[in-house]
Amino acid sequence: MGVNREQIPVTTKKGTVAIPGRLKDFDAQENFAVLATDDAGSPYASLISYALTPDLKMVIFATPKGTRKYRNILNSSQVALLIDNRSTRKHRLMETEAITVIGTAKNIRKGKKWDELSKIFLKKHPDLEEFLYAQTTALVAIEIIECVHVSHFQTLSVWNSK
């Protein structure tokens, strides 16, 4: 089940993956992602449940307002999000894919936009409804700026959403 050393590429090559399609596939198959925030100059990573908007412009997640990740977002809105399929490719390293979403995060206040985004989030995560509607929970949207897809260990494709 291990990977032969000769099969692992030692150089990076340019990929041609259609990232919007892979984002949609990941959204349908993966429930979790790793959020990276800036914690006063130090990196900080958090596991989150996420949903992607159908237009591929935003990633949505909910978090308690008292968390370090939420405080970090309020202090610095630039974030990265890693979505991958390693759990379904356990013994097949060369088939594992990851997408790093780079973007700007912001708290969504209650209102029309919150209602719209919360529906998208709850369609994917209906079990988190009580959590989402709690007074202590914030709904956060990451506006996607760029995505970097990595496959076959070192094949990189880049998509700018703008």
Read off the CATH number of the domain in which 66 is found: 2.30.110.10
Instruction: Pick out the chain residues at pLDDT < 50.
Output: 1, 3, 6
pLDDT digits (tens, 9 = 90+) for 64-91: 999 999 999 999 999 999 998 876 656 5
The pLDDT value recorded for residue 89 is 54
Q: Is residue 9 part of a domain?
A: no
Bridge partners (DSSP) listed for residue 77: none
Q: Residue 15: phi, psi to the nearest 5?
A: -100, 170
Q: Is residue 18 part of a domain?
A: yes
The pLDDT value recorded for residue 1 is 46
The pLDDT value recorded for residue 15 is 56
Count of structural domains, the chain: 1
Domain range for 38 = 14-160
Q: What is the pTM of this model?
A: 0.84
